[in-house]
Amino acid sequence: MLLTAESGDAGLAMAARYKPDMMLLDVMMPGLDGYEVCQAIRNLKDLRELPVVMLTALTDRESRLKGIEAGADDFITKPFDFQELRARVSCILRLNRYRKLLQEQARFQWLVEGAEHATLMVDTLLEVTYANPAAKRLLTATTLPRGSRNSLVGLLRANFTLEPARAWDDWMARPDKAPAEPLLLVRSGAAQGTRHWYRFEVQSGQNLRGDAERAVHLVDVTHQMAENLSRWSFQRMVSLKLRAPLTGLMGCMGLLSDDYCSNAAPEDVDMWRSMQLSARRVVDVVESVLRYADVSPANAGDNRLAISSLADMISRCAEAAQIKQVQVEIAAEVQAGHLHIPETAMELILGELCANAAKFHPQQNPKVRVSVRPKGSVGTTWIEFMDDGVHLVPEELANVWRPYFQVERHLTGEVSGFGLGLPMVAAHLLQFGGTYEMTNRPDRPGLIVSCTLPWSPGPVPTPP
pLDDT at 301 > cutoff 70: no
In this prediction, what percent of the chain has a pLDDT beyond 70? 81
Q: Which residue type sits at 438?
A: M
**Predicted model pTM:** 0.47
Residues 6+ apart with CB under 8 A from 354: 314, 317, 318, 320, 321, 323, 368
pLDDT at 179 > cutoff 60: yes
From the list 411, 407, 413, the residue with the least C-alpha distance to 449 is 407
Q: Given this model, what pLDDT does residue 34 score?
A: 83
Q: What is the mean pLDDT of residues 190-213?
A: 69
Q: Given this model, what pLDDT does residue 417 score?
A: 46
CA distances from 273 to 249, 259, 415, 441 (A): 14, 13, 21, 42
Spatial contact of 370 and 330, defined as CB atoms under 8 Å apart = no
The C-alpha atoms of residue 102 and residue 159 are separated, in whole angstroms, by 34
- Upstream peptide bond of 79 is cis (omega within 30 degrees of 0): yes
The C-alpha atoms of residue 328 and residue 338 are separated, in whole angstroms, by 17
pLDDT at 180 > cutoff 50: yes
Kindly list the strands in the beta sheet with 195-206, ordered across the sheet, starting from the edge strand earlier in the chain: 128-131, 118-122, 212-220, 195-206, 183-188, 161-163
> What are the phi and psi torsion angles at 300 (to 5°)?
-75, -35
The C-alpha atoms of residue 143 and residue 154 are separated, in whole angstroms, by 9
Q: How many CA atoms lie within 13 A of 355 on its CB side?
A: 14
Lowest mean per-residue pLDDT among 42-51, 61-70, 82-91, 290-299: 290-299
Q: pLDDT tens digits, residue range 220-270?
A: 888 877 776 666 556 556 666 677 787 778 888 887 787 778 888 888 888
Q: What is the mean pLDDT of residues 346-350?
A: 90
pLDDT at 101 > cutoff 90: no
State the pLDDT confidence band at 411, using cuts at 50, 70 and 90. Answer: very low
Other beta carbons within 10 angstroms of residue 193's beta carbon come to 6
Q: Given this model, what pLDDT does residue 236 score?
A: 57
The C-alpha atoms of residue 229 and residue 236 are separated, in whole angstroms, by 11
Q: Given this model, what pLDDT does residue 205 score?
A: 61
Q: Which one has a higher pLDDT value, 387 or 159?
A: 387
The C-alpha atoms of residue 362 and residue 272 are separated, in whole angstroms, by 33
Q: Which residues pair with 217 in a beta bridge?
A: 119, 201
Q: pLDDT tens digits, residue range 119-167?
A: 888 888 888 888 888 888 888 766 554 554 578 888 898 888 888 777 7
The C-alpha atoms of residue 122 and residue 129 are separated, in whole angstroms, by 5
Q: pLDDT tens digits, residue range 313-340?
A: 999 999 989 999 999 999 999 999 999 8
Dihedral in degrees, nearest 10, Cα atoms 237, 239, 244, 246:
120
Q: Which residues pair with 54 in a beta bridge?
A: 25, 75
Q: Given this model, what pLDDT does residue 406 score?
A: 61
Q: What is the mean pLDDT of residues 382-398?
A: 90
